[in-house]
A and B are shown apart, each in its own frame.
Chain A
Amino acid sequence: DIVMTQTPLSSPVTLGQPASISCRSSQSLVHSDGNTYLSWLQQRPGQPPRLLIYKISNRFSGVPDRFSGSGAGTDFTLKISRVEAEDVGVYYCTQATQFPSYTFGQGTKLEIK
């Protein structure tokens, strides 16, 4: 199974400042079809997860453009250009390259300083 490792596990950020979360996979996430099925989910307190980014850098419907994703192969990054109060929560990277099974990172807790 592919293991997903996120850093940091906790990220205190000042409102209006940028934030960055890294995700590394134990093997390449490039699928045989040429796509890389790396996604990012956001889970606000008391809420179910919500898809933010898919295939490394594509924002899902309704996701603000302050969220962006980048990376390739085994190393990926989620960036928030200017953190807002509503961004507080836990962020997970997840891979679907080994679909039909999924694996998730441990989660990174974003909190306001």
Chain B
Amino acid sequence: EVQLVESGGGLVQPGGSLRLSCAASGFTLSDYYMSWVRQAPGKGLEWVANINQDGSTKYYLDSVRGRFTISRDNAKNSLYLQMNSLRAEDTAVYYCARDVVGLGLGDWGQGTLVTVSS
């Protein structure tokens, strides 16, 4: 059974940093692209970033490029999102999701809440 478990969310001040983790199990992480998707409170879904199988290629939403860094450690079955220079508008539940060729975002974690506030 595919499982994705996010952690690392919390309350952070504007301008601060946070590192999210996603622990993957039930499949071979190194076979898949992986994505981060966020959802602001009461709002819709917004794709944030993704990374290819070996971590050599990364893509970002324009509004987070230069502030967020996606990475992975296939040996540890983990995906990460380093978030710097956080803004109030980054407040959201952050989900990690498995990109399945031909299907899109086929599996999702439960999410971790990031709140940016003073």
Q: Identify which of residues 49-100 in chain B touch chain A, using a CB-to-CB cut-off of 8 Å.
A: 50, 52, 57, 59, 61, 95, 99
Closest to A35 in B: B102
Considering the chains assembled together, what is the distance between the CA atoms of A70 and B64 in angstroms? Answer: 34
- Whether the Cβ atoms of A48 and B104 lie closer than 8 Å is no
Q: Identify which of residues 86-113 in chain A touch chain B, using a CB-to-CB cut-off of 8 Å.
A: 90, 92, 94, 96, 99-107
Q: A92-B45, A107-B44 are in contact. Are A100 and B105 (CB under 8 A)?
A: no
- Whether the Cβ atoms of A104 and B44 lie closer than 8 Å is yes
- Whether the Cβ atoms of B104 and A102 lie closer than 8 Å is yes
- Whether the Cβ atoms of A48 and B110 lie closer than 8 Å is yes
Q: Identify which of residues 36-90 in chain A touch chain B, using a CB-to-CB cut-off of 8 Å.
A: 37, 39, 41, 48-51, 54-55, 60, 90
Considering the chains assembled together, what is the distance between the CA atoms of A101 and B57 in angstroms? Answer: 13
The interface residues of chain B lying within 8 Å CB-to-CB of A37 are 102, 104
- Whether the Cβ atoms of A49 and B104 lie closer than 8 Å is no
- Whether the Cβ atoms of A51 and B44 lie closer than 8 Å is no
B59: min CB distance to chain A, Å: 4
Can you give 19 contacting A-B residue pairs, CB < 8 Å?
A37-B104, A39-B103, A48-B95, A48-B110, A49-B37, A49-B105, A51-B103, A51-B105, A51-B106, A54-B106, A55-B102, A55-B103, A94-B104, A99-B99, A100-B99, A101-B47, A102-B37, A102-B47, A107-B44
Known: A37-B104, A102-B47. 18 other contacts (CB 8 A): A35-B102, A41-B105, A48-B108, A48-B109, A49-B108, A54-B102, A54-B104, A90-B44, A94-B104, A96-B104, A96-B105, A99-B99, A100-B52, A100-B57, A101-B47, A101-B59, A102-B104, A102-B105
